[in-house]
Structure 1
Amino acid sequence: MSPANSVLEYGIQLPVQSQSTLYAEPWEAGAGPEDLLAVARAADRAGFAYIACCDHVGVPRRLASAMSTIWYDPVATLAFLAAATERVRLLSHIAVVGLRHPLLTAKQYATLDHLSGGRLILGVGAGHVEEEFTALGVDFAARGAVLDESIDALRAALGPEEFPEHHGKFYDFEGLGQRPRPVQRHVPVWVGGSSPAAVRRAALKGDGWLPQGDPRERLPAQIERLRRAREEAGVRAPCVIGAITEPLYVGAPAWETGRRTLTGAPAALAESLRAYRALGVDQIQVRFRCRDRSELVDQITAFGAEVAPEL
């Protein structure tokens, strides 16, 4: 957690790669790799701290109408975009790491970090779709405990040692070498979720916290809960506090963008977003209302050029 006068960083969850009805724009249904490339490159040019990609292995029929079944694989997608960008970091937001053995996860993400020159941020979460766990042979009821141990195992497997070692209740390994190693000596692990268990997990095990849907008014209590848990446990390492902002539109839209959308001149948007910094937030994840890829790229560009310098 950083001083209140430090820079407020900004990142973006990529469109197209996940298309839940909660946030997908209509144009994304017909979009594909070229659209992802254009948006990622625009974010890279505009100074975004990261681009993010979600994780679901399979969506059951009961949820398909709301969630859709369009969920790109995060490792494949971020590796694809790493080759087309230069500086923007690559965030899994979030990877349901309990669905896979930590050595498999470590192999994939260590390779991604290696190929991208050390740009990985590993965002992890417990998951919520029971059918995914059942199909992959993982105990859904134990997913919190599995995630806790997975983080510990991944710390070992993504560390500097070629032959990592971990001995726990769910996973046990040693003597198995994995190269290439990550470029980063310490791959940051950001923990996602807004339940009391998730906030405590972020406090005790995370290098950062990725809230899921907490509006501004809920953040102070959540951040205080996280800080208190860290203080009581004697955790002194930095923790990056995140927030997902309201939908944005830079300028005066000529169409109905929805009642929750923040719109207006760059200075007004920046003033509104700076309030997150005052709450103790270090990085904001933004998204923009848009009718097509071109409008989204224009919004990203305008945000980077006109709003971000005021943050």
Structure 2
Amino acid sequence: MTDYGIQLPVQSQSTIYAEPWEAAAGPADLLDIARAADRAGFAYVATCDHVAIPRRLAPAMSTVWYDPVATLAYLAAATERVRLLSHVAVVGLRHPLLTAKQYATLDHLSGGRLILGVGAGHVQEEFEVLGVDFAGRGAVLDESIDALRKALGPEEFPEHHGKLYDFEGLGQRPRPAQAHVPLWVGGSSPAAVRRAALKGDGWLPQGDPRDRLPGQIVRVRRLRAEAGREGPFTIGAIAEPLYVGTPAWDTGRRTLTGPPEQLAESLRAYRAMGVHQIQVRFRSRSRAELTDQIAAFGADIGPHL
């Protein structure tokens, strides 16, 4: 069985993937789409994380980036079973106790539906304005993960002693509803893949094409075996853009289109590689078209995965 999830539209609007209709969309659209994913059996809905976008990047990235904790908490109250993924939280921008307070509360309020996806970040000005070392962000993320493991664990008074962060004797409640909050590491650089294998409960690749994934998965497994890492580990993939059925408009050269059986067969290739969950994205011209696509995928493709 391969799970499937979705990075929500509207909440981040980079020109790489945003559809034109999203520019005028808002909370009601986001809510409707999250509920559609919940009904259609999607494993998770995901949101991104940026604090502030510099002018030099705004034309490509836009400045529309909803806060992940606020957004996921808003959607948690309106959904029943779908999990809530940060894809990805740039946790190095914040002290681990602050991150733990926010995400532990989210997990508590949602009844244990959080998946904490983390990544190193790439916008230098964000780090600089918040007083965090951009050049050393890999090391910052490594220690942040270690500190978050403690701060999101069962202890009311977590303890961590590292080079960057040092805390003990400080209590935080509510605790997460989950005994163990899954922590997935995002990124496809050699350092990110290594970090995922050695420190994560899962790996969220950032745009690896199909032909590159098998080699990356082999490396993840080898690194985990060499380090003696055992237990469940979730390998993810981001599928090509999809359109269920035959579109009456130009959905782009890379978009997978066709009847459900054909799309299911194409997506099953990911499972054969060793992928456990695929993130899907649909081409659409409106909220209604997107929710129709989500429903069709859940009804006609999901059961074949």
Same fold (TM over 0.5): yes
How big is each residue's C-alpha offset from its partner over 1:105-128, in whole Å with a ceiling of 9 and x where there is no partner? 000000000000000000000000
Please give the alpha-carbon distance, in whole angstroms, between the structure 2 residues aligned to 1:152 and 1:253. 47
SS in 2 for 1:121: strand
Amino acid at match of 1:182: P
Is 2:6 the counterpart of 1:12?
yes
Equivalent positions of 1:278-297 (< 5 A) are 278-297=272-291
Is 2:231 the counterpart of 1:231?
no
TM-score for the superposition, normalised by structure 2: 1.00
SS in 2 for 1:51: strand
Corresponding residue to 1:186 among 180, 183, 191: 180
Gapped regions of structure 1 (runs ≥ 5): 1-6
Matched residues, percent identical?
Answer: 83
Aligned to 2:62: 68
Gapped regions of structure 2 (runs ≥ 5): none
Aligned to 2:22: 28
Equivalent positions of 1:117-156 (< 5 A) are 117-156=111-150
Return the offset for 1:186. 0.3
Please give the alpha-carbon distance, in whole angstroms, between the structure 1 residues aligned to 2:300 and 2:230. 35
SS in 2 for 1:257: coil
Aligned to 2:155: 161
Please give the alpha-carbon distance, in whole angstroms, between the structure 1 residues aligned to 2:238 and 2:60. 20
SS in 2 for 1:71: coil
SS in 2 for 1:62: coil
Aligned to 1:196: 190
Please give the alpha-carbon distance, in whole angstroms, between the structure 2 residues aligned to 1:154 and 1:104. 10
Is 2:101 the counterpart of 1:107?
yes
How big is each residue's C-alpha offset from its partner over 1:245-298, in whole Å with a ceiling of 9 and x where there is no partner? 000000000000000000000000000000000000000000000000000000
Is 2:302 the counterpart of 1:308?
yes
Aligned to 1:250: 244
SS in 2 for 1:52: strand
> Displaced runs of 4+ in structure 1, greater than 4 A?
none
How big is each residue's C-alpha offset from its partner over 1:200-229, in whole Å with a ceiling of 9 and x where there is no partner? 000000000000010100000111111111
Return the offset for 1:238. 1.5
Return the offset for 1:237. 1.9
Please give the alpha-carbon distance, in whole angstroms, between the structure 2 residues aligned to 1:141 and 1:237. 33
Aligned to 1:46: 40
Aligned to 2:208: 214
Amino acid at match of 2:24: G
TM-score for the superposition, normalised by structure 1: 0.98
Q: Which moved more, 1:121-130 or 1:230-239?
A: 230-239
How big is each residue's C-alpha offset from its partner over 1:128-177, in whole Å with a ceiling of 9 and x where there is no partner? 00000000000001100010000000000000000000000000000000
How big is each residue's C-alpha offset from its partner over 1:179-199, in whole Å with a ceiling of 9 and x where there is no partner? 000000100000000000000
Amino acid at match of 1:68: S
Please give the alpha-carbon distance, in whole angstroms, between the structure 2 residues aligned to 1:58 and 1:221. 35
